[in-house]
Chain A
Amino acid sequence: MEVPAVRVEGLEKDYGKVRALKGISFQIGEGEIFGLIGPNGAGKSTTLKILATLLRPTAGKAEVFGRDVVEEAGKVREMISYLPEEAGAYKNLTGREYLEFMAKLYAKGGRDADEMLELGVELSGLGERLDDKVSTYSKGMTRRLLLARALMVKPKLAILDEPASGLDIINAYTIRKTIKALSASEGVTFLISSHNMLEVEYLCHRVALISGGRIVEVGTPAELKERYEAENLEEVFMRAVGLEGGQK
């Protein structure tokens, strides 16, 4: 039986008295682009952080390619690449130095740092600006650099929290195409959280709707639209959480 890229079962997370996750379960197949959508505070980022080995679940289980994210966190980190929603790069380094630094850390085990760097340079699309310090970059340029960093290492699982946040239309479009291409050509599995329903619909093979720390629906965008007789995922979400009338 094939091991899923991600297996989450009954995952709970408490921050003191606040219950951020109330027992969520889902699976992601290898090579799949899976979207996690929901409003602010729904538990998207917490789920992503647990899978990225940053947070420990209060209860439940999460595995990446069969490895437990708590017990085998080191092994999990070798397979993933995580892009937080709010992320920065080292301001005193140039963009190229930043990519080079990351490539060297990922390149162990026979993988070629130069190859990664070359791909990072290409994905960033920053051209000569890569030789300038990160402190001189705009928000959009920094995001492109960070995305290039996350994708150049061709991880088995890329966890991207709002990947296109802060990017203009052209850059966001390019990034979506890159994600699709890497999924198709390299078999990279993607777990993406986003507020942008159009983005999710365009990108994801399957999506999970999350609200109040619970998963309310999982399916392909087409299945969900059909199930809720909705024109788009935005309507699906509103109907699934009972904020707008509709049929199931």
Chain B
Amino acid sequence: MSDFWVLFAKELKNLLRDKKLIFGLVIVPLLIYPALGKGMGIGIEKARGETHVAIANFDSGDYGSLLIRALNSSPNVTVTLVEAGDVEAALERASSLKQNVLVVIPPGFSESIAENRSATVYVYGIFSSLGTGMKESVSEGRINAIIQALSRGIAEIKVKKLGFSEPSALLSPIQARSLSYVRGRLVNVSPSVVSAILASQSVTLPIVVFLMVTLTAQIAAGAIASEKENKTLETLLTLPVKRTTIVASKIGGTAVMGLIAALTYTFGMRSYIGSSFGGSNVSLGDLGIRITPQGILLFGVVVFLTVAFALSLAMLLAIFSEDVQSANTVVSSVILPLAFPSFILMYTDLSSLPKAAAYALLSDPFTHPIVAYQWMLAGEYARIAWSIGYLSVAALVLLYLTARAFSGEKILTAKMGWGRRRR
């Protein structure tokens, strides 16, 4: 076994047995995120359950009774008629009966409709607790939809009585049908659905990249700084092993942890978003977007180089730190401001930005996985190749600087307590 593999195996063993690290890397994304998503999903499911409607009918005509029948025959709606002298009393009664909604049919409701005047029905959402209000919102939406359907039905009957054979055409003379034209291909999907699919991608990816980069940077910094803190560095540096091999093994070990972080966080975020917001039936393939093996490979290289850049930067900073705490402070202070700009790409895409702003964003290596993903979907591989070239240069320069710093005596003599008051 070569020196690299011996050191690499030790790094990996040492990292994989770190309970705090495993908690942040595996337990949080694989258990806590899906659990949060599940919790939110359960909340939504509960809100979509049975709607309990109280009805206070102050009308004596047929249309009031028709509305009650319509609500009664609707699925997921349970109707309770309440007797009350006025609206306030009806609200109190409905609240005590733990109803979600109170529908008040005012006096003269039927008369107005019969005389072809607009009539108003009042829908009160009853907030028994000040939680999310999701149940009240869903219930109100459901009741409104029933009222609108009834309203349209009454309108169509009235129009038909006037002698029009197609009342729906008269009531809705203009029908809108939304389709999308995605990168030169006509797709029978509305733009809002396409937008939702693309948005789910553009939200997940920056978060996953951000978490992956910051986590691996912290692990890398910790791998160097803990050698100082635990007094193992001097022994390590006097072993019959090349210093570059030591640096490479640390980068290798940390990169594996970064890969684990990428996989667990991608899975966790997907699970969170999937279970809390529900999935779409339309896939990227339905939009004519094909992800080829070549595209995946190029995208993978971009992610790898971004992680290599983050690791080298973190290690370089950690070399000058006194201990793990100082290393974490300095790495956070440098990596976070570099990683944050990628969040801009959650709300806008590169082509819609002014040129100077787009180039400024591209100069930040941490934005590259996100733009490379968009280029991969668009099949613009030449652009990804350009990104790989840029990242390779940036990562190699930093690797060289890190290896040089590791070979000198500064790694032993530099004792900067970043962010800490020196005694």
With A78-B240, A104-B6: A87-B13 Cβ-Cβ less than 8 Å: no
Q: Are A15 and B6 in contact (CB under 8 A)?
A: no
CB-nearest residue of chain B relative to A16?
B413
A169 on the B face (CB < 8 A): no
Are B239 and A92 in touch, CB under 8 angstroms?
A: no
**Inter-chain contact A52/B238, CB cutoff 8 Å:** yes
Q: How far does the alpha carbon of A86 sit from the alpha carbon of B232 in the complex, in Å? A: 9
Interface size on A, residues (CB 8 A): 33
Query: Contact: B232 with A89, CB < 8 Å?
Result: yes
- B18 / chain A contacts, CB cutoff of 8 Å: 92
If the complex has contacts A92-B17, A104-B1, A104-B6, are A87 and B409 also in contact, measured as CB distance less than 8 A? no
Interface status of A202 (Cβ within 8 A of chain B): no
Across-interface contacts of A245 in B (CB, < 8 A): none
Q: Does residue B237 face the partner (Cβ distance < 8 Å to A)?
A: yes
Q: Which of A4-12, A53-61, A180-188, A221-229 contacts B (4 or more CB under 8 A)?
A: A53-61
Question: Looking at chain B, what size class is its interface with the partner chain?
Answer: 20 to 34
A91 within 8 Å of B (CB atoms): yes
Q: CB < 8 Å: which of A49, A84, A105 contacts B240?
A: A105
Across the interface, A77 reaches (CB within 8 A) one of B14, B231, B240, B412, namely B240
CB-contacts of B1-44 with A (<8 A): 1, 3, 6-7, 9-10, 13-14, 17-18
- Tell me if B230 counts as interface (CB < 8 A to partner A): yes
Alpha-carbon separation in the docked complex, A172 to B409 (Å): 32
Assess the A88–B230 pair: CB atoms within 8 A. yes
User: Are A54 and B14 CB-contacts (below 8 A) given A84-B231, A89-B232, A105-B6?
Assistant: no
C-alpha gap A56/B293 in the complex (Å):
51
Q: Is the CB of B10 within 8 A of A80?
A: no
Q: Is the CB of B3 within 8 A of A54?
A: no
A101 sits at the interface (CB 8 A)? yes
Chain A residues closer than 8 Å to B409, beta-carbon distance? 54-56
- Report chain B residues within 8 Å CB of A30: none
A53: chain B residues within 8 A (beta carbon) = 237-238
**B235 on the A face (CB < 8 A):** yes
Assuming the contacts A55-B409, A92-B17, asked whether A86 and B237 have C-beta atoms less than 8 A apart, the reply is no
* A49 and B18 alpha carbons, distance in the complex (Å): 31
Smallest CB separation, A125 vs chain B (Å): 20
Looking across the interface, which residue of chain A has its beta carbon closest to that of B3?
A: A105
A193 vs chain B, min Cβ distance (A): 14
Q: Are B238 and A82 in contact (CB under 8 A)?
A: yes
**Contacting residues of chain A (70-101) with chain B, CB-CB under 8 angstroms:** 74, 77-78, 80-84, 86-93, 97, 101
Distance to closest chain A CB from B66 (angstroms): 74
Asked if A106 is an interface residue, CB under 8 A from chain B, the answer is yes
Q: Please tell me if the beta carbons of B13 and A93 are within 8 angstroms of each other in the complex.
A: yes
Residues in chain B near residue A97, CB distance under 8 A: 13
Alpha-carbon distance between A83 and B413 when the two chains are bound, in angstroms: 18
- A97 to B230 Cα, complex, angstroms: 17
Shortest C-beta distance, A61 to chain B (Å), equals 17
Query: Which residues 43-65 of A sit at the B interface, judged by CB distance below 8 A?
Result: 49, 52-56
A101 to B13, CA, bound (A): 11
- CB–CB B235/A87 < 8 A: yes
State the CA gap A137–B164 with chains docked (Å): 94
CA distance A78 to B242 in the complex (A): 11
CA distance A33 to B114 in the complex (A): 116
Cβ of A90: which chain B residues have Cβ within 8 Å of it? 10, 14, 230, 232
Minimum CB–CB distance from B142 to chain A (whole Å) comes to 56
Q: Which of B7, B14, B238, B242 contacts A92 (CB 8 A)?
A: B14
Partner of A15, one of B234, B240, B413: B413
Q: A54-B409, A82-B238, A105-B3 are in contact. Are A87 and B10 (CB under 8 A)?
A: no
Which chain B residue has the least Cβ–Cβ distance from A149?
B235
Contact across chains for A54 and B237 when beta carbons are under 8 A apart = yes
Picked from B14, B232, B242, the residue with its CB within 8 Å of the CB of A74 is B242
Q: How far is the CB of B326 from chain A (nearest CB, A)?
A: 18
Do A101 and B238 touch across chains, with their CB atoms under 8 A apart? no
B249 to chain A, nearest CB (A): 11
- Shortest CB-to-CB span from B404 to chain A, Å, is 14
Is there a chain A Cβ closer than 8 Å to B121's Cβ?
A: no
Q: Is there a chain A Cβ closer than 8 Å to B241's Cβ?
A: yes
> How far is B238's CA from A55's CA once the two chains are assembled, in angstroms?
11
List of A residues within 8 angstroms of B1 by Cβ: 104
Which residues of A have CB within 8 Å of B241? 77, 105
Question: For residue A74, which residues in chain B have a CB less than 8 angstroms away from its CB?
Answer: 240, 242
Q: Kindly supply a per-residue 1/0 record for chain A positions 104-127, scoring 1 wherever the CB is within 8 Å of any chain B CB and 0 otherwise.
A: 111010000000000000000000
Q: Which residue of A lies closest to B5 (CB)?
A: A104
Does the CB pair B14–A93 fall under 8 Å?
yes
- Distance of A102 Cα from B412 Cα, bound (Å): 21
In the bound complex, what is the Cα–Cα distance between A101 and B238 (angstroms)? Answer: 14
- In the complex, which residue of chain B has the Cβ closest to the Cβ of A84? B234
A15, B415: Cα distance in complex, Å:
13
Chain B, residue nearest A150 (CB): B235
Give B232's nearest chain A residue, CB to CB: A88
A201 to B238, CA, bound (A): 28
Report Cα–Cα, A84/B409, bound state, in Å: 15
B230 near A54 (CB under 8 angstroms)?
Answer: no
Question: How far is B131's CA from A90's CA once the two chains are assembled, in angstroms?
Answer: 49
Task: Looking at the assembled complex, report how far the CB atom of A49 sits from the nearest CB atom of chain B, in whole angstroms.
Answer: 8
Which A residue sits closest to B242, measured CB to CB? A74
**Assembly CA distance A235 to B412 (angstroms):** 35
Which of B14, B232, B235 interacts with A82 by CB under 8 Å?
A: B235
> 8 A-B contacts, Cβ less than 8 Å apart?
A78-B240, A88-B232, A89-B230, A89-B232, A90-B232, A92-B17, A104-B6, A149-B235
Given contacts A78-B240, A92-B17, A105-B7, 16 further A-B contacts (CB under 8 A): A52-B234, A54-B234, A54-B237, A55-B413, A56-B409, A77-B238, A81-B238, A83-B235, A84-B235, A87-B231, A87-B232, A88-B230, A92-B14, A101-B9, A104-B1, A108-B3
Which positions in B face A, CB cutoff 8 Å? 1, 3, 6-7, 9-10, 13-14, 17-18, 230-232, 234-235, 237-242, 409, 412-413
In the A-B complex, the 8 residue pairs with the smallest Cβ-Cβ separation, listed nearest first, are: A92-B17, A88-B231, A82-B238, A88-B230, A78-B240, A84-B234, A77-B240, A104-B6
